Structure 1
Amino acid sequence: MKIEKSDLLLYAVTDRGCLKGKSLEEAVEEAILGGVTCVQMREKKASEEEMIEEAQKLLKICHKYNVPLIINDDYNVALKSGADGVHVGIEDAPVAEIRRIAGENFIIGATAKTVEQARLAESSGADYLGVGAVFPSPTKTNAIRITPQQLTEICGCVNIPAVAIGGITAENVHEIKGCGHSGIAVVSAVFGAYDVKAAAEQLCRAVRDTF
C-alpha cells in the first residue's frame, strides 16, 4: 500500500491514556466511522510482542474500511505485524535505512520541523511529513512550536504531502487555513472525546474548510 494525499485528511494517533472507558479497538472503529482516514498506533509502554498483537487487532479494523495503519517509531513492529507503515521522529531510525530494509511498498512518514528536515526526509524516501507542533500539545508538552508561516514554508518546499500536528482542535484549525497541508493529525481531539465518532465528523468538516 502507498499512501495517498486523501488518506491524510484526518490522521488519528492513538493514546490509551485519554480514552473515556472504551477499548482501543472500539475507539479506532468509531473514529474511522466518523471520517478518520489514517490511524497511527502509538504505544510507548508496551513490549514488542504486545505491540505486534495490538497492531494486528487494529489492522483488521483499519483494513475493513481501507484505512492505512501506521506504527509510531518502531519499524520492526510495523513489519512483523503486517502494518502498512511507520512514522519516525527526527531522533529515530533514518528514513533511508528503513526504506532500504522495508522496500518501496512500505509507507514511511517522517517528522519535520524545518525546511532542511523536510527536504532530507523527502530525498531519503519518506512518503509524507508530519509537521508541528502548530499549537501547544496536551500530549507532548515539550514539543517545539512552529508558526503558520513556517508550516507554509515546509509544506511548500517538498513534493510529498504533509499533515499538520500538535494541539489541533475543531475550534483552532482555521488558524492554519491555506498553509498547504494535506490534512491534520490529532490525538486527544478524537480519542479524548466521549463521542469519538462525532468528534471525528466535526474535525473532518473543520479541516476541509482550511484548504
Structure 2
Amino acid sequence: MDLPKGFYGITDERFGCVESAKKLIDFGAKIIQYRCKNKTDRQMLREAELIRKLTRDAGVVFIIDDRVDLALLVGADGVHVGDKDFPPCEIRRIVPEGFIIGLSTHSLEDVEHASCCDYIGVGPVFATTTKDKPHPTLGVELAEEMVIKSPYPAFLIGGIALDNIESIKHIPAWGFVSVRDVLANDKTHFERMLEIWNS
C-alpha cells in the first residue's frame, strides 16, 4: 500500500478517540493512527471498528498503535510499534502482504537498527505533552540527521505546532505528526500548518 506524504494524524483521548478521528478526516488527513491507552480491550475494539469504517469510507490509511492483534481483528492497514513492543521482523511473519509496519525511533542507533518496517517515526523533535513519559527531546539538528540516514520514509513527531513548524520544513521527511496543536484548534489553523510545511 502506498504511504501518503504530508500530515499523519493521531487520535488523542483528551479530545475523544472517535471524535479525534472524525476531526482529522474532516481536516483531510490521509493517515490516521488510533492511539488510546486507557481503555479496556473491548472499548478499544468498538472504537477501532468505528474508526476503521470511517477511514475506509474516506479512503484514509488506518494504523493501530502497538496492538497487532487489534489491527488484525478490525482489518486495519497497519500497526505502529515502539522499542518495547514486538519487533517489526516478528510482526511481519504473521501479518498479510501489504500490511504497513511503522516503528518509533529516538536516536541514530535506533535508525541504524530499524528493519522490516515501512516507515519510521523520528522524535520527539520538541517537548511534547502527548505522552506521560516522553523520550528526551531530539532537537532539529539530530532529527534531521536521523531522517537523512534512514533507509525508510520518516515522519517527524513530538511537539510540532504552528509556531515551530517553520523550523523543520527543510528536513527531507515524508511528513509530520502534530497531535495536540491540530486537535485543539480549527481547520484554518491546520491549513496554515500545511501551507508552511509545503512551502
User: Could you state the TM-score of these two structures normalised by the residue count of structure 2?
Assistant: 0.91
Quote the offset at 1:26 in angstroms.
4.1
> For each residue in 1:29-58, what CA deviation from the matched residue of structure 2 results, as whole angstroms up to 9, or x when unmatched?
332232322111111011222212211111
Quote the offset at 1:141 in angstroms.
5.3
Contact 1:3 1:127 in 2 (8 A): no
Identical columns (%): 34
Q: Distance in 2 between matches of 1:53 and 1:170?
A: 33
* Counterpart for residue 152 of structure 2: 160
Is 1:15 the counterpart of 2:12? The answer is yes
Q: Any idea what SS the aligned residue of 1:76 has? A: helix
Q: Distance in 1 between matches of 2:2 and 2:40?
A: 27
* Counterpart for residue 131 of structure 2: 140
Gaps of 5+ in 2: none
Q: Distance in 2 between matches of 1:198 and 1:60?
A: 26
Quote the offset at 1:134 in angstroms.
0.6
Contact 1:35 1:204 in 2 (8 A): no
Q: Distance in 2 between matches of 1:199 and 1:83?
A: 29
Quote the offset at 1:59 in angstroms.
1.2
Quote the offset at 1:83 in angstroms.
0.8
Q: Distance in 2 between matches of 1:199 and 1:24?
A: 20
Contact 2:153 2:173 in 1 (8 A): yes
Q: Any idea what SS the aligned residue of 1:101 has? A: coil
Gaps of 5+ in 1: none
> Structure 1's 142 and 49: CA in aligned 2 closer, same or farther, altered over 3 A?
closer
Q: Distance in 2 between matches of 1:43 and 1:26?
A: 12
Q: Any idea what SS the aligned residue of 2:156 has? A: strand
One-letter amino acid of the counterpart of residue 129, structure 2: P
> Structure 1's 207 and 98: CA in aligned 2 closer, same or farther, altered over 3 A?
same
> Structure 1's 200 and 35: CA in aligned 2 closer, same or farther, altered over 3 A?
farther
Contact 2:24 2:32 in 1 (8 A): no
Contact 2:66 2:80 in 1 (8 A): yes
Contact 1:10 1:203 in 2 (8 A): no
Q: Any idea what SS the aligned residue of 1:28 has? A: helix
Q: CA RMSD in A?
A: 1.7
User: Could you state the TM-score of these two structures normalised by the residue count of structure 1?
Assistant: 0.86
* Counterpart for residue 34 of structure 1: 27
Deviates more, 1:175-184 or 1:75-84: 175-184
> For each residue in 1:73-101, what CA deviation from the matched residue of structure 2 results, as whole angstroms up to 9, or x when unmatched?
11111111111111111111111111111
> For each residue in 1:87-143, what CA deviation from the matched residue of structure 2 results, as whole angstroms up to 9, or x when unmatched?
11111111111111113311100001122212322xx31100111111110112532
Spell out the pairing of 1:91-130 with structure 2 (5 A cutoff).
91-121=84-114, 124-130=115-121
